[in-house]
Amino acid sequence: MKPYIYQKSDWPNFTWDNDLLFEAIGNIRNRQGKLVGKMESYGFELKGEAVLKTLTLDVLKSTEIEGEILNSDQVRSSIARKLGMDISGLIPSDRNVDGVVEMMLDATQHFDNELTKERIFGWHNSLFPTGYTGIHKINVGKWRTDDMEVVSGAMGKEKIHFQAPDANTIDAEVERFLLWINSNVKIDAVIKAAIAHFWFVTIHPFDDGNGRISRAISDMLLARSDGSSQRFYSMSAQIRIERKGYYEILEKSQKGTLDITKWLIWFLNCLENTLLNTENILQNTIHKSSFWQLHANTIINIRQKNMVNKLLDGFEGKLTSSKWAKITKCSPDTALRDMQDLMNKNILKKELAGGRSTHYELCNINL
User: Do residues 89 and 42 share a domain?
Assistant: yes
Q: Is residue 293 part of a domain?
A: no
Claim to verify: residue 317 and residue 349 sit in the same structural domain: yes
Residue 367 lies in a domain: no
Is the pLDDT at 70 greater than 90, yes or no? yes
Assign 8 a pLDDT band (cuts: 50, 70, 90): very high
DSSP 318-357: -B-HHHHHHHHT--HHHHHHHHHHHHHTTSEEE-TT-TTS
Same domain, 234 and 317: no
- What average pLDDT does the structure give for the chain? 91
Q: Are residues 190 and 312 in the same domain?
A: no
Please write the tens of the pLDDT for every residue from 233-292: 999 999 999 999 999 999 999 999 999 999 999 999 999 999 988 877 777 777 887 888
Where are the strands (E) in the chain, listed by range?
A: 132-133, 136-137, 149-152, 159-163, 348-350, 360-362
Tell me how long the chain is.
Answer: 367
pLDDT of residue 149: 87
CA dist 141 and 207 (Å) reads 10
Q: For the chain, what is the domain count?
A: 2
Residue 344 domain boundaries = 299-362
Is there a single domain that holds both residue 149 and residue 195? Answer: yes
Taking the CB of residue 156, how many other CB atoms lie within 10 A of it?
5
**Do residue 321 and residue 245 come from a single domain?**
no
In a domain, 54, yes or no: yes
Across the range 186-208, mean pLDDT stands at 96
What gap in Å lies between CA 254 and CA 230, rounded to an integer? 32
Q: Please tell me whether residues 226 and 338 are part of one structural domain.
A: no
Could you tell me if residue 238 is inside a domain? yes
| CATH number of domain containing 327 | 1.10.10.10
